[in-house]
Structures are given as C-alpha cells and as structure tokens.
Amino acid sequence: SATKFIDGQGRCMGGVVAGRSEQMKEVVGFLRTAGPTLSPFNAWIFLKGLETLNLRMRAHCANAQALAQWLEQQDGIEKVHYAGLKSHPQHELAQRQQKGFGAVVSFEVKGGKDGAWRFIDATRLISITANLGDSKTTITHPSTTSHGRLAPQEREAAGIRDSLIRVAVGLEDVTDLQADLARGLAAL
C-alpha cells in the first residue's frame, strides 16, 4: 500500500505491484484491461513522498523504539510487542535482517477489554483510528476493529487479545506521545 508510509500523510489511495518479470507480464496485461491507474496528482504525491521516505522512516522507527522502551517500564502494561526490544523473541533475527524495527508498537494493558478502552479513550493527542503509516500517531483496539470479525478463538491463536492496543507511531515529539499515553495509563 502506497497510501501508508510512501505518501506519509494519508492523503491519497494507491498501491504498488512488484514481482519477477514473468509474473509482472500477466499483471500488466490485467491492469491495462481493467484500468486501475493512479490519477496524475496521486502519482505526484507518492513521488514527492518517496523523496523523504528514508528520513521519515528513521524518525518513525526512532520514536517507536523510544516509546516501546518507555512502555516496557510502565505499571499497567503487561507486555510490549516490538522487535526493537531485547525482550522480543525475534529481536536478534530482526536486528540481522532490518535497518529499523518499524513504526508499529503493540502492547497489552491490565484490565482486559475494559482497560484497553479506558486507556484509548483517555488519550487526547493520538488519533483513535485503525489507520497507520501516517505522520500523525494513531491508536486502535485490534480485537474490535481490524480483527473484530474473527472468532475469539481465532484472535487468541493470532495473539490478538482483548487487552491488546496498537499504536502506529508518527513523527510527533516522543515526549508528547509519552504524556498522552500516560493519560491512558492513569485511566486503568
């Protein structure tokens, strides 16, 4: 999805198809027939976004790392899921394979679904939405949004517990994000 980090501000919808030459011939034929092409304006926005993608991703990852480390030290947090943390089971693998650990931090709060909702409702700076990959930080409750249609057993098997919160970390000052999440912690 180019709508996420390539655009960087959630202004345009678009995507990228990538693959080997022999695979792409079939896809290109379909695309020519079906016509799902970007508008020139959206294409221009994505090209402009690519100019600062590296710089923005470094900032997203640095903010996510700082936020994950901070969350791991807070009362009210049962577990933080972020490959940049040494406590993550795949930290060493991620370190070998990646330059950064991404901009999405998930964590489990005490109090189950009610605790998660109180936490999310108490935030003020962070937008409550299932969107991610934006310059603005967003927060969501996966078990009632992105994974809400799954049966409880399927969510549990996927590690999507009712206490899980997902934060797609943006480019704001990390101390502002910490202060907003501290409001959530105070609501637990």
How confident is the model at residue 23, as a pLDDT? 87
How confident is the model at residue 35, as a pLDDT? 76
Confidence (pTM)? 0.89
Q: For residue 139, what is the enclosing H or E element?
A: strand 138-140
10-residue averages of pLDDT along the chain (188 residues): 87 87 85 83 94 96 98 98 96 94 98 97 95 92 92 93 97 98 98
How confident is the model at residue 49, as a pLDDT? 94
How confident is the model at residue 3, as a pLDDT? 84
What is the set of domains in the chain, with CATH numbers?
A: 54-186 (3.90.1150.10)
- Give, as one character, the DSSP assignment of residue 28: H
Tokens of 5: 């980090």
How confident is the model at residue 52, as a pLDDT? 95
Radius of gyration of the CA atoms of the chain, in A: 18
Q: How far apart are CA 127 and CA 168, in angstroms?
A: 10
How confident is the model at residue 90, as a pLDDT? 94
